[in-house]
Every structure is written in C-alpha cells, then in structure tokens.
Chain A
Amino acid sequence: AQTVTQSQPEMSVQEAETVTLSCTYDTSESNYYLFWYKQPPSRQMILVIRQEAYKQQNATENRFSVNFQKAAKSFSLKISDSQLGDTAMYFCAFTPNFGNEKLTFGTGTRLTIIP
C-alpha cells in the first residue's frame, strides 16, 4: 500500500518570501505520478503541479516548483515570491502506474502568508 507523509502541519511565511513544503511517500511502484493540490478557504481542490516519476526534470509552474528525489522518495514544493492568495492547505498526493487510479493524499500542510 502506498502512503504519503507531510510532516509539517502548519507553516507561515512573510509575503514575497520563499517557502518549501515537504512530502515523502512510500511505494514499490516504479511508474507513478505525484501532485500538489491547494485547498484555499473556499475548500475547492486546485491542482498546483504534477510530476511524472519517469521524468528526471523537476516540474515548474510559474512561482511553483518541485524538488523530486526519486531515490529518497521525496517530493517537496517550493513557492517563490509568496502571495497572500497562496494562503491555503496544501496536499501532496500520489497515484500509481500511469494514473487511472485513486489518489492517496497526505494529511496536508496549512500555509499562512503574512502581509
């Protein structure tokens, strides 16, 4: 069974600073996808970024980037130039094979951006 661990229940950072959220996972699969989802106070689940395990290059989406360390089973999210709108719960998630299967979520990190 796959597990996803987010060891930081809460974090806060000043606006415009950089913050890194940690995620580790455990799986015996060799092909899988990893995701970061954001859940703002509206409770909507919003996809932030996606990483395919077979790609060595780290995914980047504007101010969001990941540090994917496959051997260490680590998948951290870096938010640069943080903005007030980044305040949200952030969930790391895993799906095996090439998708088409359930997402397994971590417990989330509550991120607060301080003005």
Chain B
Amino acid sequence: DSGVTQTPKHLITATGQRVTLRCSPRSGDLSVYWYQQSLDQGLQFLIQYYNGEERAKGNILERFSAQQFPDLHSELNLSSLELGDSALYFCASSVAMRGGESTDTQYFGPGTRLTVL
C-alpha cells in the first residue's frame, strides 16, 4: 500500500458525460501528479499540483481540468467524454521540497479505471 488513495476504482459512463476522479496523497506529500495510461499512448503525464497551485501541464486536453484543495487532496475533472478517454488514470504524490530538501520519488495510487461507452 503506497498510502495514496484514489476513488472510485471503476467508473463506467457514456459519451458526452462528465466525471470527477479523486485523489488523496500520502500524509505530508505536497505534490500531486495525474497520469493517464491507455493502450495506445502508454503512460502520459497530465498535470501536477504543488501545495494547491498548478505547477506543470503535460498532454492534458482542454476538456480536462484539475485542482488541489487546501487539505491537499486533488480532483481530476473530465468532461464531454469520448470513447478515446477510456483509460486508467493514476494519481501519484511526492513530498517535493520540504524543509529545503528535494525528494523525488513519486508513489502511485491504485488508479481509477474509466470506461466510456
């Protein structure tokens, strides 16, 4: 158990719908990362938040958005869903600069499997 939690585990929805994926980082971790794993694209970085602020963006579609709340949990919102959005969505967390020291290891949650029908 990495200490990172993600809900829900599975999500089945229809095209055009909107869903929210939730992530709680490990205790003390300030940085949250979202990744998408699909069969044709492999593991792709979507977005990173650090202590409530967006820090980096990757291959994230405009239909997707995220935020990190004061309690450091994060949500990934996916809207106007398409069949191609079906994938495993991972959240990872790391401490990322605490007390001036950088710690680099990202620990992954169990993922949310999204199926768009």
Contact = CB atoms under 8 A, between A and B. Distances in A.
By size class, the interface of chain A is 20 to 34
A105 interface: yes
Interface string A85-115: 0000001000100111111110110000000
Interface residues of B, number: 28
**What is the interface of chain A mostly: helix, strand, loop, or mixed?**
loop
A84 interface: no
A91 B90 CA distance: 14
B45 A103 contact: yes
Interface of B: 2, 31, 33, 35, 42-43, 45, 48, 50, 55-56, 58, 88, 90, 92, 94, 96-97, 102-108, 110-111, 113
25 contacts: A33-B104, A33-B105, A37-B108, A43-B110, A44-B2, A45-B92, A46-B2, A47-B105, A47-B107, A47-B108, A50-B105, A95-B104, A95-B106, A98-B102, A99-B102, A100-B31, A100-B55, A100-B94, A100-B104, A101-B56, A102-B45, A103-B35, A103-B92, A105-B42, A107-B42
